[in-house]
Amino acid sequence: MAPEARRKGRSRTAGLPSRDIALGLVRAVLDDQRSLTDTLDNGIASQEKASAEDRAFGRLIAMTTLRRLGEIDAMIAALLQRPLPRKASDVQQILRLAAAQIGFLGTAPHAVVNCAVEQGKRCPGRYGPLVNAVTRRLTPVDDQAQPSDTGANLPDWLWQSWVDAYGQENANRIAVAHLTEPPLDLTIGATDETDRWANVLDGQTIMPGTVRLPRAQNVPTLEGFEEGAWWVQDIAASLPARFLLAPLSDSHGATIVDLCAAPGGKTAQLANTGASVTAVDVDPGRLARVQDNLTRLGLSATLMTSDARTWQPPSGEFFNGVLLDAPCTATGNIRRHPDIPWLKRPTDVAQAAALQRELLQAAWRLVQPGGYLVYAVCSLQPEEGKTQIVDFLAKNDATRAPITPAETYGNVLPDADGDIQTLPYILGDRGGMDGFFIARLRKPA
């Protein structure tokens, strides 16, 4: 329920703080090309005096606007006699926020209209009457209905790339999966206690070591957080470390390096088995957060701040296993970050692929004979996934170590090569999963 439903008798502008937060967020993404995460981390002026309730509702409005942007723009265009001029960018964002609330969030129309008109009055050009007229004509959309054009909420280049890679039907299913906020997955430190923690937290066991909660939560307040019983990690993000550990006959004492390690969920998985883990990341701030998480979990690893392309272990040793979760366009994470489609460009895919090629070659040099490398990206773009591995195998003395269905407990099936491509609609009846490409390679003994 929107905050206004509990604010009887308050002024016409009681809901403005949340709307101003939402406006600041969509401006940052759509006008300034800044990510939601960075904007929220760095703060926006309208957050300073807002309540936690207003901050949460403002974020929800902004996230919904970005998820449904194509549909929202079509709703607004149908109510305008002519397109807004470019100089009226803020007016456009205000109308988008109003359409998100009335169309998809079920917010009381009078509250939406009042706040939108107040925001419109601040814009140069006397747009208050237009905002009033348009917002009063907005109508709710059936929340069970899928958009008639599932690609409408995506840039054309991104939508077409998925149609080409996965076919029209699967591209439709991917796009529909992005319209709802994902559940919260936890990786359980003591795998044999997975069912117990599922009961304690009112979640469900997805597979041994993974518990799913049905919605976002205030994580630090959940039972087991302070004692380090679990950590937040989408089921798809937990797979690469599982696949690296599976072929090692005894992970206890194995030497493993986790390249591009932050935010650290995979490092925790590896260290939790008793392996000797080195975590490498170029960002000292993010690596500090990895250490904070390891401390809470009662785990240890050697942390190294370095560019993984040039890092060399101090003693020159090789490793039983190397995990490379490479930087990418993150198009597999759009469920969690609906700003991604509006921040990325086709050129970003090529740039990410070039970096990934360098990282793969650097990672391969660290694998001891007979050892394993797991390559992963949270991307749906083939150039960053399957194509990378095909090209790498053509140029290096490496073979696939195919992933088996048993390793995923049947939740997602490997392709004919033994690689995994998770897609957002997989496990759709239980909330879906992030999109990851994962391949496992072995170096000849």
* Residue carrying the six token digits 């009846």: 429
Extract the tokens encoding 107. 């917010």
What 130-135 contacts at long range (C-beta under 8 Å, 24+ apart), as own/partner pairs, is 130/91, 131/91, 131/94, 131/95, 131/98, 134/76, 134/79, 134/80, 134/95, 134/98, 135/95, 135/98, 135/102, 135/109
Burial of 303 (0-12, 13-18, 19+ CB in 10 A): buried
- The residue from 123, 260, 328, 378 that is catalytic is 378
Number of helices (H), then strands (E), in the chain: 16, 12
Are the CB atoms for 153 and 175 separated by under 8 Å?
Answer: yes
Instruction: Tell me whether strands 184-188 and 204-207 are parallel, antiparallel or unpaired.
Output: unpaired
Question: Where are the extended beta strands (E) located within 346-443?
Answer: 367-377, 399-400, 420-421, 437-442
Q: How far apart are CA 356 and CA 324, in angstroms?
A: 9
Extract the tokens encoding 137. 């004509």
Residue (of 4, 51, 42) closest to 24 by Cα position: 42
Q: How far apart are CA 176 and CA 403, in angstroms?
A: 28
- Using DSSP's 3-state secondary structure scheme, residue 330 falls into coil
Please list the residues that pair with 165 across neighbouring strands.
none
Torsion angle of C-alpha atoms 83, 85, 86, 91, degrees rounded to 10: -80
Per the annotation, the verdict on 378 as an active-site residue is yes
* Residue carrying the six token digits 């086709």: 346
Q: How far is CA 389 from the centre of its chain?
A: 23
Are the CB atoms for 320 and 256 separated by under 8 Å?
Answer: yes
Amino acid letter at 324?
Answer: L
Positions annotated as catalytic residues are 378
